Amino acid sequence: MILVTGASGLVGSHLILELARRGNKIKALAQQESSVVKALQTFKAYQASDEKLIAQIQWVYGDITDSEFIFEILNDVDYVYHCAALVSFSPADTERMNTINAKGTEVLVNMCLLQGVKKICHVSSVAALGISVNKQKVTEENYIVRHNQSTFYGISKYNAEREVWRASEEGLDMVIVNPSIILGIGDWEGGSSNMFRTAYQGLKYYSPGGTGFVDVRDVVLIMIKLMESTISKQRFIVCAENLKYQVVFDWMHDGFGKRKAYIKAGKILAGLVWRFEKVKALVTGKNPLITKETVHAAFTETQYSNKKVTTALAYQFIPIKSSIDTFCKIFLKQLEESK
C-alpha cells in the first residue's frame, strides 16, 4: 500500500493517477472531501476517469499534523510520497506554512518510523536551496545559509527537509526531490497553474528575471523512479530548463493566441505595486496578489543544475515549450466545456 499526502494538489493528483495506472493500491490523503473534485478533474483531463482506475484509490481526510490520525492511516502502508504543503508568498501565512510544511513533516516521518514504513519520498522545493552565488548554477550541495537568502516558504521547506534528514539518521529510508517551478494541469486559480490563466487574460508587462521550470509529469516519473531504485539518503533537483519569465509567458501567449507582453517592468513601479497591495490587504483582510517576495523573484535570475538526476536515472526531460503547448490546449478545452 502506498500513501500519498497532498493527493489533491498539482503533484499529488498527477502522482496518484500514474501510480494507479501502474496497478498500485493507494491511500490518498486530502484535507477535506471537496478536494477530491480537483484530483478527478485532473484524471478527466487525461481521459483517465475509468472506474477501475479510480477504485484503486482510497481517499482519507484529515490533518497532517495530527499524529494519532497519521499513525492510524500508516498502519498498512509500505511507501509514502509526501506532497502535502502550503505554498504562499504572503508574510501573513508564515506561521501556517511552518505548521503545515515543517511540523506536518515532523509528524509524518515520526509516525513512519513507528509504523516501519519502508521508504519515503519527500517533495521539497528549490526554494529550500537558497540562492546562487557568482551566477553559478544551484546544485544539491546548496543550503540556505541565512534567512535573507530565501522566502518564508523556502525557509519552511528547508525546516521540513531537516526533519526528513533527521528521520533518516534514525533509520527511515528516504529520498528528497527539489522541483523548480512546476507547470501542469491543476487549480487554474492558484499555484503555478495560475500562470496559464494570467497569460490567457493577457499581460502588458514583463520582468527581467528567470528561474527553473519543469513539467509535473516529469516530477512524478522521477519520484517513482527514485522510490523504485536503491538510491537512498539523497536529494535531487528536478528542473527541465532555466528560462526567463518573459520567454515562458511569450510561449503561453502564443499558445492562447494572445499578444505578448511588450512593456518591461521597472523596479520603481514594481515597488509601488507591492506596497499598494500590502496596504490593500490590511484593509480587505485578503492576501496581497503581489508581495515584496514575488517582486524580488521577478527581478532575480537563478539557475539550477539537473545534472545529478539526469545522470543517476539517465532521464530526459520534456521540453518546456512542448509542455506549455499541451497545457494551453487543455486549458482552452476545459474553458470551452465550462461555458
Question: pLDDT tens, 285-332?
Answer: 555 445 545 555 555 778 899 999 999 999 999 999 999 999 999 888
Question: How far, in Å, CA of 66 to CA of 222, rounded?
Answer: 29
Question: How far, in Å, CA of 171 to CA of 190, rounded?
Answer: 37
Using only C-alpha atoms, the chain has a radius of gyration, in whole angstroms, of 20
Placement of cell 482510497 in the chain: 58
Residue 3's pLDDT is 96
Name, in order, each residue with C-beta under 8 angstroms of 133's C-beta and a sequence gap of 6 or more. none
Closest CA to 293 of 154, 136, 139: 154
Q: Is 202 left (phi over 0), alpha (psi -120 to 50) or beta?
A: left
**Beta pairing class for 210-215 and 241-244:** antiparallel
47 lies in some domain: yes
Count of domains forming the chain: 1
Question: How far, in Å, CA of 290 to CA of 270, rounded?
Answer: 9
- Residue 252 has what DSSP assignment? H
Residue 270's pLDDT is 46
What is the strand order of the sheet 26-30 is part of? 57-61, 26-30, 2-5, 79-82, 119-123, 174-179, 234-238
pLDDT tens digits, residue range 162-189? Answer: 999 999 999 999 999 999 989 998 777 7
| DSSP output for 129-153 | G---STTPPB-TT----SGGGS-HH
Closest CA to 70 of 97, 96, 103, 37: 103
Residue 288's pLDDT is 45
Range of the domain at 177: 2-185+212-241+303-322
Q: Which three cell numbers stand for residue 316?
A: 530526459
Which parts of the chain register pLDDT below 70? 48-50, 89-91, 131-134, 144-150, 190, 206, 262-299, 339
Facing residues of 155 across strands?
Answer: none
Residue 112's pLDDT is 95
Question: How far, in Å, CA of 95 to CA of 54, rounded?
Answer: 35
Q: What are phi and psi of 202, to 5 degrees?
A: 100, 135
127 lies in some domain: yes
With vertex at residue 265, the alpha carbon angle to CA 262 and CA 267, rounded to the nearest 5 degrees, is: 170
Question: How far, in Å, CA of 111 to CA of 44, rounded?
Answer: 34
Cα atoms in the Cβ-side hemisphere of radius 13 Å centred on 205: 11
Q: Is 225 helix (H, G, I), strand (E, B) or coil?
A: helix
Residue 140's pLDDT is 85
What is the strand order of the sheet 210-215 is part of? 181-183, 210-215, 241-244
207 lies in some domain: no
With vertex at residue 74, the alpha carbon angle to CA 70 and CA 75, rounded to the nearest 5 degrees, is: 125
Residue 121's pLDDT is 97
Residue 316's pLDDT is 95
Q: Is 226 helix (H, G, I), strand (E, B) or coil?
A: helix
217 lies in some domain: yes
Domain CATH number, residue 225: 3.40.50.720
Closest CA to 222 of 182, 195, 251: 182
Q: What are phi and psi of 70, to 5 degrees?
A: -65, -40
234 lies in some domain: yes
Question: How far, in Å, CA of 226 to CA of 91, rounded?
Answer: 34
Closest CA to 40 of 55, 58, 54: 54
- Residue 266 has what DSSP assignment? P
338 lies in some domain: no
292 lies in some domain: no
178 lies in some domain: yes
